[in-house]
Structure 1
Amino acid sequence: MATVTPKTKQPFRVRLDRFQRRYAPYLFISPFFILFAVFGLFPIFFSGYLSFHSWNPIQGLGSMKFIGFENYAFTFDDPWFWRSLGNTVWIALASGLPQHIVAVPLAFALVMGVRALRHQLTAIYFLPYITSAVAVSLVFLTIFGTQFGVLNQLLAYLAQAPWSAWLFGGLQDSLPIQWLSQRSFIKPAIATVVFWQYFGFNVVLYTAGLATIPREYYEAAQIDGAGSGQSFRFITLPLLRPMVFFAVTLTIIGNLQLFDQPFILTDGRGGTGQSGMTTAMYLYRTGFEWLEMGTAAAIAWLLFIIIGVLTAIHFFFFGRNSMEARE
């Protein structure tokens, strides 16, 4: 007859040690996931839910009313949405393209030409990026001032030079220029600020990308008689394509969400004729000035879809070739 051995209860310290080894790692990382769920996932899902409702936050959650796709239909029919989107695309292109056109050759010059000062110069170029966007915008707000701005003062000084009539034409008659009040200058002024702040970030990215290219390629090209221009064209650009794709993707995502710079430079109103109002500004004003939270949520999701589509198109035309170039 088989005997049943009674199961002995393990000591508390053994059970505690087993519990710690099994569950302690999850307890240590749980604060991150809790915070991410509260401040990351919940706002995303709630904004999606809110985009199908009409809600005035002052009246409380009880005033929320389901209206289907009316917020999306209203946004599509709103000319101010399309104007803000056009302004955003204009500023994104005017500030984004020059960033990469200038940053790539400058990074090449830093890596190949002035290696002794590469780290110091890279830090200087990177400094505007780590500076607060509000602080940068306030500095440029004084630079673009109409009466006492540095830029108008410089142009007034140049207009008095003997050769100014030949070089600048009727510059004296155009001064002072209202950089932030005149419709034709608002978007270029905003694009200038965005370019200045984020240009250094791309220099750092391309410098890091160039550091991964073996120097033997350049040495072999030099032995074959290739100059710096030929090395840049036939070695640097093809092998740098993955980093270019990555940097341009970040530019697309970031520039289509511009808010701080245009908000500060246009005093939160978008400037004359709303020429400087970006889609993010339009979203903010819809939700927090006009208290149309449902419409603001719909705008946010439409902006997310637009950014996703443009990023996917960018990957389809350039991303796959970039990955093949690295392989």
Structure 2
Amino acid sequence: MASTDLDRPAAGVTWRQRLSKWDVKASPYLYIAPFFVVFTIFGLFPIVYTAVISLMDWDTIRNSGEFIGLANFDFVLNDRKFWVSLRNTFSIFLLSSIPQLIIATFIAAMLDHHLKARTFWRMSVLVPYVVMPVAVALIFSQLFADEYGLINHWLGLVGIDAIPWHKEVIPSHIAIASMVNFRWIGYNALILLAAMQAIPRELYEAAAIDGAGKARRFFSVTLPQIRPTAIFVIITSTIGGLQIFDEPRMFDSAGNGGADQQWLTITMYMYNTGWGELNFGRASAIAWLLFLIIVVFGLINFWLTRRLISSEKSGS
């Protein structure tokens, strides 16, 4: 009786086959390993090191400190500047992020149409992002100058009194928020545009056949389809908005957040405490409090994301 292939013993696995199998399993980890190595050195280690310093009365000259527990956190939480800076940070964040996302979505929708010289317009909206933040802050600080600023000059031409941009809280926050919007609207618009271009055109055609107008197609097709990308933009805008530093720092020549801390942000407060007062223990405590605030907002955004995705699935 002739033997079949099933009766023959299986051939042994060669070393090349083993190497190929190992390569398939291990190579993805090797590809992403450099990021985690760099993150550990320049990200995770500073976080842990800052946590240690925040519990000490740090001596910058001797580069050593005495353990004092949570005294730095207690001082910061009872300091008026911290709560003023927290108020200013959230105020500037809301005044910048909400209009920023609305305008960016509108610009992305316009760029998604069949425009002439589309590449030119798409590159143009990104130009403010590549401008140095210091240059943007210097230009806008002159536009919003109290005495000779261009904005107050225009207001004077129509009979409106000059606005004290550098003396009052809300006007200074509006001025700083305008700088942030100028830099980041185009960047977020391109991210949203990429999401819009990934939407199947058949959905728009079907909506048009059903009689939906442009506005109805935008709210019923475009916005639901770009929801995951919009959530990503909201999360990144939240993190960036809570860490705002360059614009308020350069809003005046002193860089202290105003005479009465009208636009002092948390990052400015941390910088002034660390490098101005040379108290790195308290500065580290401020950094950790800011870190915890960002984590809380990140968790809230994550919860909202899950709710939106689950509602979208249940509605489909």
TM-score with structure 2 setting the length: 0.84
Residue pair 1:88, 1:255 contacting (<8 A) in 2 also: yes
Write the distance in 1 (CA, Å) between the matches of 2:229 and 2:170: 34
Deviations 1:172-204 (A, max 9, x none): xx23x3312333411111111111111111111
* C-alpha displacement of 1:80: 1.2
Pick closer, same or farther for the CA change 1:322–1:131 going to 2, 3 Å: farther
Whether the 8 Å CA contact 1:183–1:272 is kept in 2: the answer is no
1:323 offset after TM fit, Å?
Answer: 7.2
Contact conserved, 1:245 with 1:322, CA < 8 A, in 2?
A: no
Q: 1:272 to 1:117 in 2, by over 3 A?
A: farther
Contact 2:72 2:285 in 1 (8 A): yes
Query: Any idea what the Cα deviations from partners look like across 1:35-61, whole Å, max 9, x if unmatched?
Result: 55443333222101111111131x212
Give the secondary-structure state (helix, strand or coil) at the position aligned to 2:257: coil
Matches within 5 A, 1:112-151: 112=113, 114-151=114-151
CA spacing shift, 1:195–1:30, aligned 2, 3 Å = closer
CA gap of 1:132–1:325, structure 2 versus 1, over 3 A, is farther
- Which position in structure 2 is the counterpart of 1:240? 226
Matched residue, 2:26: none
Cα distance in 1 between the residues matched to 2:153 and 2:295: 43
Q: Is it true that 1:297 corresponds to 2:284 in the alignment? A: yes
Aligned counterpart in structure 1 of residue 206 of structure 2, from 220, 231, 245:
220
Deviation at 1:223, TM superposition (A): 1.4
The 10-residue stretch of structure 1 (246-255 or 194-203) with the greater mean CA deviation from structure 2: 194-203
Q: Identify the residue that residue 257 of structure 1 maps to in structure 2.
A: 243
Alpha-carbon RMSD across the aligned residues, in angstroms, is: 2.7
Amino acid paired to 1:189: A
Is the partner of 2:264 in helix, strand or coil? coil
Whole-angstrom CA distance in 2 between matches of 1:218 and 1:27? 43
Deviates more, 1:117-126 or 1:217-226: 117-126
How far 1:33 sits from its partner (Å)? 6.6
- Give the equivalent residue in structure 1 for 2:164: 178
| Long gaps (5+) in structure 2 | 1-22, 24-28
For residues 320 and 123 of structure 1, what CA distance do their matches in structure 2 show? 35
Please say if 1:50 is aligned against 2:70.
no
Instruction: Tell me which amino acid in the other structure corresponds to 1:227.
Output: G
CA distance in 2, matches of 1:271, 1:302: 23
Superposed CA offset, 1:200-245 (max 9, x none) = 1111111011011100100111112111011011111111110110
The answer as to whether partners of 1:122 and 1:203 remain within 8 angstroms in 2 is: no
- Give the partner amino acid of 2:47: I
In 1, Cα distance between equivalents of 2:117 and 2:240? 30
The equivalent residue for 2:178 is 192
Partner of 2:147: helix, strand, or coil? coil
Gaps of 5+ in 1: 1-21, 160-170
The residue aligned with 2:297 is: 310
The aligned length equals: 291
Identify the match of residue 204 of structure 1 among 169, 173, 190.
190
Give the structure-1-normalised TM-score.
Answer: 0.81
Please name the residue that 1:96 is paired with: 97
- Asked if the contact 1:242/1:325 (under 8 Å) is kept, the reply is no
User: How far is 1:118 from its partner?
Assistant: 3.1
Residues 129, 201 of structure 1: 8 Å contact kept: yes
Per-residue deviation, 1:132:
1.1
Higher percent of residues as helix:
1
Q: 1:146, CA displacement in angstroms?
A: 2.6
